[in-house]
């Protein structure tokens, strides 16, 4: 019996010895897993660095297009005749007080050298990209990995619209993007000091609104973010009331004396809601082309006629996938604490 017991004991020990290395090998993380943080940081830096290098190489000190319309205000600022009225002057279908302010400051500091201003735009875009990655990390609730980060970077910094990336006046668009991403980030990324970060989110929404009129879209999206979290129902309602009040005040101040008949079109009748509704096919194609125009390159020509088919197909795919993700986010609202796809 003793020998049998000893044999069983040695057998168990032998099995344990054989299983231990196997278990250790399974539990030991791979080289990629051990260095995931470093690899992800490298992946997150590659495309922004290439983008910044591209902008630095091709940016020049030359006014183009809408840049020229800021010169009178810059001239007044340089010679000490700055006025708030000049900042608030309507610019076609929008008001651009922040854009005018940036140009005025740049004119006083650097005599309106547009090259550093273009680089400033690139830095704003890179900052927004960093916030997007932070929001993605919070959304999936696990560490990011290099490949998805690299893909997001390639899409985010797409050079499909090379003109915008090398145009100083487009600082307004970059402020809108940063304002939106910063607003969502302030509502979801920090832990604690909720009132402080709500104020920051309101500030980012105001920045987006004062850059271009399209920035007002941040207000309804921010409201969705506030009301999404059900566990703080009563607190969310208070925050929503504050948010709506801030949006109302911003809109009243912004649109006071606003001329809505100015829409930037040579034929104003072609830039109206009724015109879009009366031409649903054209409007739908235009939407698909806008969504799908995220890859570099111009339209194709078929028998000498411009063809936007590749943009329409890609836009349709983006629209369908986006709609599916939004529906799934609404269905799983109880478990998804961050409405990032919906936003």
- 180 and 313: one domain? no
pLDDT > 50? residue 5: no
Torsion of CA 278, 279, 285, 290, to 10 degrees: -60
pLDDT > 50? residue 7: no
pLDDT > 60? residue 10: no
- 256 and 129: one domain? yes
% of the chain residues with pLDDT over 90:
39
Regarding predicted confidence, which is higher, 249 or 318?
A: 249
- 324 and 208: one domain? no
Q: Of 233-237, 265-269, 312-316, give the lowest mean pLDDT range.
A: 265-269
Q: Answer whether residue 66 is part of any domain.
A: yes
Which pLDDT belongs to residue 87? 87
Cα 147–Cα 153–Cα 155 angle in degrees, nearest 5:
105
pLDDT > 70? residue 266: no
Q: Answer whether residue 285 is part of any domain.
A: yes
Regarding predicted confidence, which is higher, 276 or 87?
A: 87
Which pLDDT belongs to residue 343? 63
Q: Answer whether residue 124 is part of any domain.
A: yes
Q: Of 56-60, 186-190, 200-204, 289-293, give the lowest mean pLDDT range.
A: 289-293
SS3 31: helix
The chain-wide mean pLDDT, for the chain, equals: 82
Which pLDDT belongs to residue 8? 37
pLDDT > 50? residue 137: yes
- 214 and 312: one domain? no
- 284 and 159: one domain? no
- 124 and 246: one domain? yes
Which pLDDT belongs to residue 125? 96
Model pLDDT for residues 294-329, shown as the tens digit of each residue: 776 666 655 566 777 888 888 899 899 888 888 887
Q: Answer whether residue 12 is part of any domain.
A: no
Query: Of the residues 239, 264, 289, which one is the last residue of a structural domain?
Result: 264
Query: Of the residues 264, 286, 305, which one is the last residue of a structural domain?
Result: 264
Q: Answer whether residue 22 is part of any domain.
A: no
Residue tagged 């809505």 (tokens): 260
Which pair of structure tokens corresponds to residue 296?
């570099």
Q: Are 131 and 181 in contact (CB under 8 A)?
A: yes
Model pLDDT for residues 141-168, shown as the tens digit of each residue: 888 999 999 999 998 998 777 888 999 9
Model pLDDT for residues 69-127, shown as the tens digit of each residue: 988 888 888 888 888 888 888 888 888 999 999 999 998 888 889 999 999 999 999 99
Boundaries of domain holding 328? 270-343
Which pLDDT belongs to residue 173? 93
- 180 and 75: one domain? yes
Rounded to 5 degrees, φ, ψ at 253 are: -65, -40
Domains held by the chain: number: 2
Q: Answer whether residue 11 is part of any domain.
A: no
CA neighbor of 128 nearest in space, from 198, 204, 221, 39 = 204
pLDDT > 60? residue 272: yes
pLDDT class of 41 with cuts at 50, 70, 90: very high
Which pLDDT belongs to residue 261? 74
- 221 and 287: one domain? no
Distance, in Å, from the CA atom of 272 to the CA atom of 276, rounded to the nearest integer, reads 7
- 212 and 286: one domain? no
What residues form DSSP beta bridges with 301?
Answer: 306
- 282 and 248: one domain? no
Query: Of the residues 264, 286, 301, which one is the last residue of a structural domain?
Result: 264
- 55 and 105: one domain? yes
Q: Answer whether residue 117 is part of any domain.
A: yes
pLDDT class of 253 with cuts at 50, 70, 90: very high
Torsion of CA 21, 23, 25, 28, to 10 degrees: -130
Q: What angle in degrees, to the nearest 10, is found between the helix axes of 218-228 and 194-211?
A: 160
Average pLDDT over residues 191-211: 92
% of the chain residues with pLDDT over 70:
81
Q: Answer whether residue 26 is part of any domain.
A: no
- 188 and 281: one domain? no
Average pLDDT over residues 236-260: 90
């Amino acid at each position: 019996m003793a020998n049998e017991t000893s044999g069983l004991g040695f057998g168990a020990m032998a099995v344990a010895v054989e299983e231990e290395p196997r278990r250790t090998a399974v539990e030991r993380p791979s080289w990629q897993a051990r260095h995931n943080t470093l690899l992800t940081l490298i992946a997150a830096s590659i495309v922004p660095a290439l983008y910044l290098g591209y902008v630095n190489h091709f940016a020049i000190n030359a006014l183009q297009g809408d840049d020229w319309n800021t010169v009178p205000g810059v001239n007044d600022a340089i010679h000490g005749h700055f006025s708030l009225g000049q900042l608030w002057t309507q610019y076609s279908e929008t008001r651009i007080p922040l854009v005018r302010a940036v140009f005025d400051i740049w004119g006083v500091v650097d005599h309106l050298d547009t090259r550093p201003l273009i680089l400033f735009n690139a830095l704003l875009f890179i900052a927004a990209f960093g916030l997007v990655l932070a929001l993605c990390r919070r959304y999936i609730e696990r560490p990011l990995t290099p490949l998805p980060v690299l893909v997001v970077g390639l899409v985010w910094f797409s050079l499909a619209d090379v003109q915008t990336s090398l145009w100083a006046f487009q600082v307004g668009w970059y402020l809108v993007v940063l304002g939106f991403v910063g607003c969502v980030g302030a509502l979801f990324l920090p832990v604690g000091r909720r009132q402080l970060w709500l104020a920051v989110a309101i500030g980012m929404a105001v920045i987006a609104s004062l850059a271009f009129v399209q920035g007002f879209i941040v207000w309804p999206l921010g409201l969705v973010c506030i009301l999404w979290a059900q566990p703080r129902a009563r607190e969310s309602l208070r925050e929503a009331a504050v948010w709506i009040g801030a949006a109302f005040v911003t809109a009243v101040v912004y649109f006071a004396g606003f001329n809505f008949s100015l829409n930037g079109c040579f034929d104003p009748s072609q830039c109206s809601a009724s015109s879009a509704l009366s031409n649903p096919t054209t409007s739908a194609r235009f939407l698909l082309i806008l969504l799908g125009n995220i890859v570099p390159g111009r339209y194709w020509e078929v028998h000498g006629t411009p063809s936007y088919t590749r943009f329409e197909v890609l836009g349709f795919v983006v629209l369908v996938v986006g709609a599916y993700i939004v529906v799934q986010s609404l269905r799983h609202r109880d478990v998804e604490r961050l409405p990032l796809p919906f936003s």
